[in-house]
Amino acid sequence: MGLLQGVTEFLPVSSSGHLVIAQELLNWRGPHLEFDVAVHGGTLMAVVLVFWRQIEEVLGDPLGRKGRLILWGTLPTGLFGLLIKGWGEGLFSSGPFAAAMLLVTGGLLWGTKARGADLRGPGGTDYKRALLIGLAQGVAVLPGVSRSGATISVALLLGLRRDWAGEFSFLLAVPALLGAMALEAREMLQPSLQWPLMVGALSAAVSGFLALKVLLRVIKAGRLYLFAPYCWAVGAGYLVFHFAP
């Protein structure tokens, strides 16, 4: 499960959607949300390793341009996270819902094929655009909606440069993942869960590091839309399998 998380967290195919579907197919009866958050912690380690220079830049000047954009982008993510914590946790164990959202993710990815010019770097990204990208990340709390796919697709559609779209997406992921882990910290510290969660997180970190390197090359080449057919195939295939008589 950790290996699956690491690969699918960065490739724009929804790690949470794949985890929900895999848990159902494997007849998983363990803690759903706590495990999801733990393996997201593993992929957070991968983000820090790949983007350490950019993270260090933001930490050195948190009120600078990038720091303010990250703050604005984080606001809607936090609101969505609190809503899901309050009433939506059942969605994290619903395979049909995750499969349906994979179809939506595929449509969003395909939309980047016809995007406009990529002229906006950090200086040309206003707070409205940062808020919209953060809104996409907030919606991606739902299983089946790819966080990287949603944020990078929206960033590209809003005219951000390819390299900056990828960088901003993963800088936004850092506070989001830290917040999610903080919400579930108490449950994750239960003695019976510690070792399974650690193993899952470590395997997610290793596979995530490799997958992130691949994704950054795909973004630079402008071929994010190539992942759309995969999302459609997995989502539709699962729904047919699940509802077939």
Q: Which residues contact 197 (CB under 8 A, 6 or more apart)?
A: 34, 35, 38, 39, 188
Q: Between 171 and 176, where is the model more confident?
A: 171
Token pair 């914590």 is found at 85
CB 112 within 8 A of CB 156: yes
Kindly calculate the radius of gyration of the chain based on its CA atoms and give it in whole angstroms. 17
C-alpha span between 67 and 90 (Å, rounded): 34
Q: Do 125 and 168 touch, CB atoms closer than 8 A?
A: yes
Residue 29: which pLDDT band, with cuts at 50, 70 and 90? low
Residue 62 has a CB neighbour count (10 Å cut-off) of: 11
Sign, CA dihedral 46-153-7-174, equals positive
> Cα separation of 96 and 239, whole Å?
6
126 C-beta neighbours (distance < 10 Å), count: 12
Measured between alpha carbons, how far is 127 from 99 in angstroms, rounded to an integer?
32
Placement of tokens 């395909």 in the chain: 110
pLDDT tens sequence across 65-101: 999 999 999 988 878 767 765 555 566 667 888 899 9
DSSP state of 13: S
Q: What pLDDT score does 236 carry?
A: 94
Residue 196 has pLDDT above 90, yes or no: no
Would you say the pTM of this structure is higher than 0.75?
yes
pLDDT tens digit sequence for 128-150: 999 999 999 988 888 889 989 99
Identify the residue whose tokens are 């619903």.
94
Distance (Å, whole) CA 125 – CA 155: 10
